[in-house]
Amino acid sequence: MPILNPLHFDLHSHSTLSDGTLSPEALVRRAHAQGVDVLALTDHDVTDGLAEAAATAAEVGLRLVSGVEISVTWSGVTFHIVGLNIDPEHVGLQAGLARLRAIRTGRGEEIARRLEKHGIEGALAGAQAFATGPILSRTHFARFLVEAGYAKDMRKVFKKFLVHNRPGFVPGGWATLEEAVGWIRDAGGQAVIAHPARYRVSATRLRQFIETFKDCGGVGIEVVSGSHSANDVAGMAQYAKRYELLASCGSDYHGPEQSWQELGQPMPLPEGCVPVWKAWATDWEKNT
Ligand code: AMP
Ligand code: MN
Ligand code: MN
Ligand code: MN
């Protein structure tokens, strides 16, 4: 029997401030229309959408969790750490995120240079035209490349150009795991491993990553993610239990055109999982 949630949680989503296609206001309105009670906005390496999202959430009566998704390099591989209930004003967190955004800008220039060597001109300006916020993402390059006819769709364009061993791939030197978890904790938030089944690492490496994450003070893992299969959910629920991590769920929504999963799908956690909101929900239920 899945845990029955009195509230409907979606704790991972993106807006135009990073690589989503809906403004924070439009995202919150859509989440509300889809029956989400509690939404976390978790833009990549930026929190600038939270104020607008919070204002709309107050208007429509949805609870907004202040979140962020931080890019991390661990053992040469990129991982994503979601921070929930962070104080977006925290100076240390903001300094860290500003550093990552600067790295993104430099990486974008290098991606464009490499694509140019491959015969693709104008990729930097093309990607920048799709970047509606302060971060430059591979997603923006992907949209440019699809629009310019270099690939048919987002899945194909990543495979052809933007992943490891492809012409437009540039590894990011992101935050260390210790830094990312530290910034989130210092800002009063809970650190959660994003979409853990999506990393291309062995089971042994993933377990080492989880152990290091816990040692750094991380507390949660996304058991349910828009990009997880039913098998992935079961496997990650096992890890949550084994490592005594709180379980989170989120769609990783990026917009109506490019979605792993729609906002507001029912996302029950498997039996035995302790939800990440367990510590928060008591207050909220009283007000509901
Ligand atoms: P970046 O952080 O700039 O390296 O870009 C990573 C983002 O690219 C992810 O957050 C996804 O939104 C997107 N992405 C990665 N792989 C794929 C894929 N295969 N298809 C579509 N989007 C992808
Ligand atoms: Mn993204
Ligand atoms: Mn991610
Ligand atoms: Mn995400």
The response to whether residue 8 sits with its C-beta less than 6 Å from ligand 1 reads no
The rounded Å distance from CA 277 to ligand 2 centre is: 23
pTM of the entire predicted model? 0.96
Say what the pLDDT of residue 288 is.
Answer: 47
Cα 88 from Cα 40, distance rounded (Å): 13
Ligand 1 pocket mutation, candidates 43, 138, 164, 198, criterion most atoms within 8 A of CB: 138
Per-residue pLDDT of the chain (288 residues; tens, 9 = 90+): 555 557 899 999 999 999 999 999 999 999 999 999 999 999 999 999 999 999 999 999 999 999 999 999 999 999 999 999 999 999 999 999 999 999 999 999 999 999 999 999 999 999 999 999 999 999 999 999 999 999 999 999 999 999 999 999 999 899 999 999 999 999 999 999 999 999 999 999 999 999 999 999 999 999 999 999 999 999 999 999 999 999 999 999 999 986 556 887 777 999 999 999 998 866 565 554
The rounded Å distance from CA 40 to ligand 3 centre is: 14
Say what the pLDDT of residue 284 is.
Answer: 62
Report which bound ligand comes closest to the CA of 200: 1
Say what the pLDDT of residue 259 is.
Answer: 54
The response to whether residue 213 sits with its C-beta less than 6 Å from ligand 1 reads no
The rounded Å distance from CA 250 to ligand 2 centre is: 13
Structural domains of the chain, with CATH: 9-97+176-286 (3.20.20.140), 102-162 (1.10.150.650)
The response to whether residue 254 sits with its C-beta less than 6 Å from ligand 1 reads yes
The rounded Å distance from CA 34 to ligand 2 centre is: 21
The rounded Å distance from CA 154 to ligand 1 centre is: 9
The response to whether residue 42 sits with its C-beta less than 6 Å from ligand 1 reads no
